[in-house]
Amino acid sequence: MTTTPPAAESEATDEPDSALTTARRQLERAAAHVDVDPGVVERLKYPTRVEQVSVPLEREDGSVEVFTGYRAQHDDVRGPYKGGLRYHPDVNAEECTGLSMWMTWKCAVMDLPFGGGKGGVAVDPKGLTDDETERLTRRFAEELRDAVGPTKDVPAPDMGTDAQTMAWFMDAYSMQQGETIPGVVTGKPPVIGGSYGREEAPGRSTAIAAREAVSYYDRDLSETTVAVQGFGSVGANAARLLEDWGATVVAVSDVNGAIYDPDGLETHAVPTHEEEPEAVLAHDAPETLSNEEVLELDVDVLIPAAVGNVITADNADAIRADIVVEGANGPTTFAADAILEERDVPVIPDILANAGGVTVSYFEWLQDINRRQWSLERVNEELEDHMLDAWNDVRAEVDDQGLTWRDAAYVVALSRIAEAKATRGLWP
Ligand code: GLU
């Protein structure tokens, strides 16, 4: 496996917080609370494999540039590897591996018949034209062709990729295989086998998790203030749903900063990243804040829904929210988690809160296999049911063992994975 330096965000905090380091520490910590064979825990610290590929791209000026792509496949004891593909300059083997571990737990906590995978290309997608993105995606799909497939490994959108990226990936794969195979990726546009509701799903599940957490701590959504960092598909959909359900969303941000209105923003009027990139600050609001300030607002619920490693040992003491709900993957470092636990600030973890994305990906995969499309109403109803089942499983561990929400979610996931591993056995 290739090792590359940790992501830039973690360097600022002086913490060894690559996604892989964090994921391994979280696993070890949670394993202490489950009666699980230490051999299973040892196996789960390592991915099955990490593919590294070179992706040559002809640029618009005729020159050729070679980008590096990855696909980390962590564990498939419960079903095909599943997880997103990101296009971001910080993508590297170590980050993909850590993120693929989180996908293993996420799928297990939701009781989906999938394992964990994650991949991507180390590229800044903002620096590519649409045609270049299409060529890069098609060539990446070809380089990964042997590694993926509807029963092997099923990619999906993640940071810097979207439904169109998945359409190009599916088309390239299908052309080479000689038949249309929609189930090779999820998160496609509905017209080619995508699921209604998939795009909103991670935001919807984040909102459901926030709603359930507010009720668990005996509060009323109509008296709840919310701050959301990130206004892409996760943050925007979570903010809008929570507003629809009666909460007061006082701040939302994008990479340039936040808008703040203590009386509540009209979040449907603020353009999402997909509707108009980086336009949050252009929306009229009484105050603007920096991205750091939005994390430290005195609100009931804080939803970090942008990038990883934003709540660190440096700012965990300054977090004034009563509840943190992780919309992004890995927004809280291991050290920050300990500080928040000490301060009795509950953190609803990413592997539960934003799991609506992969859950509706599962619905999409079922629809593709059955060649039968579900209505949006059915998708949202089944998502609600799956989220409440997972919420109740995790809540039971919180109540019975007095665990943090993250440890409880890991315990639920680990128990399911360990049972599958024990039942299948180690071969040879
Ligand atoms: N990239 C999303 C995640 O981190 C979705 C993965 C999927 O749908 O496979 O959960």
Is 364 within 8 Å of 185 (Cβ atoms)? Answer: no
Q: What is the pLDDT of residue 15?
A: 53
- The structure tokens listed for 353 are 């809160």
Residue 417 lies in a domain: no
Looking only at the bridges linking them, the beta strands covering 116-121 and 64-75 are antiparallel
Average pLDDT over residues 197-221: 98
The verdict on 297 and 158 lying in the same domain is: no
Q: How many domains does the chain have?
A: 2
Residue 344 lies in a domain: yes
Confidence of residue 17 (pLDDT cuts 50, 70, 90): confident
CA 120 to ligand 1 centroid distance, Å: 12
Using the predicted structure, report yes or no on whether residue 226 has a pLDDT greater than 60.
Answer: yes
Average pLDDT over residues 107-128: 98
Ligand 1 atom nearest 362 alpha carbon = 8
Residue 332 lies in a domain: yes
Catalytic residue among 82, 118, 188, 421: 118
Domain end call among 123, 152, 182: 182
The verdict on 140 and 272 lying in the same domain is: no
Does the C-beta of 163 come closer than 6 Å to ligand 1?
no
Range of the domain at 130: 47-182
Mutate to test the pocket of ligand 1, among 78, 307, 361 (most ligand atoms within 8 A of CB): 361
Mutate to test the pocket of ligand 1, among 158, 184, 364 (most ligand atoms within 8 A of CB): 158
The verdict on 52 and 175 lying in the same domain is: yes
Q: What is the pLDDT of residue 428?
A: 87
**What's the pLDDT tens digit per position in 33-75?**
999 999 999 999 999 999 999 999 999 999 999 999 999 999 9
Helix axis angle for 405-424 and 376-401, nearest 10°, is 100
- Helix, strand, coil percentages (3-state) for the chain, rounded to 5, are 45, 15, 35
Using the predicted structure, report yes or no on whether residue 4 has a pLDDT greater than 90.
Answer: no
Ligand 1 atom nearest 157 alpha carbon = 1
- The structure tokens listed for 97 are 């591996």
- Taking alpha carbons only, the member of 129, 121, 112, 124 closest to residue 60 is 129
Using the predicted structure, report yes or no on whether residue 2 has a pLDDT greater than 50.
Answer: no
Task: Map tokens 């925007």 to a residue.
Answer: 236
The verdict on 261 and 318 lying in the same domain is: yes
The verdict on 175 and 206 lying in the same domain is: no
**What's the pLDDT tens digit per position in 388-424?**
999 999 999 999 999 999 999 999 999 999 999 999 9
Residue with the nearest Cα to atom 6 of ligand 1? 83
Average pLDDT over residues 339-347: 98
The verdict on 232 and 178 lying in the same domain is: no
The verdict on 221 and 178 lying in the same domain is: no
Using the predicted structure, report yes or no on whether residue 12 has a pLDDT greater than 80.
Answer: no
CA 26 to ligand 1 centroid distance, Å: 19
**What's the pLDDT tens digit per position in 263-284?**
999 999 999 988 998 899 999 9
The CATH number that applies at residue 85 is 3.40.50.10860
CA 48 to ligand 1 centroid distance, Å: 19
Sheet holding 225-229, edge to edge: 287-289, 257-260, 248-254, 225-229, 301-304, 323-325, 347-348
Q: What is the pLDDT of residue 18?
A: 87
The verdict on 215 and 323 lying in the same domain is: yes
Prediction pTM value: 0.94
The verdict on 135 and 267 lying in the same domain is: no
Residue 80 lies in a domain: yes
The CATH number that applies at residue 229 is 3.40.50.720
Residue 17 lies in a domain: no
Residue 34 lies in a domain: no
CB atoms within 10 A of CB 377: 10
Does the C-beta of 329 come closer than 6 Å to ligand 1?
yes
Residue 5 lies in a domain: no
Q: What is the pLDDT of residue 13?
A: 46
* Percent with pLDDT over 70 in the chain: 96
Report the SS3 class of residue 227: strand
118 catalytic per annotation: yes
CB atoms within 10 A of CB 195: 25
- Taking alpha carbons only, the member of 37, 293, 281, 51 closest to residue 148 is 51
Average pLDDT over residues 167-179: 98
CA 156 to ligand 1 centroid distance, Å: 6
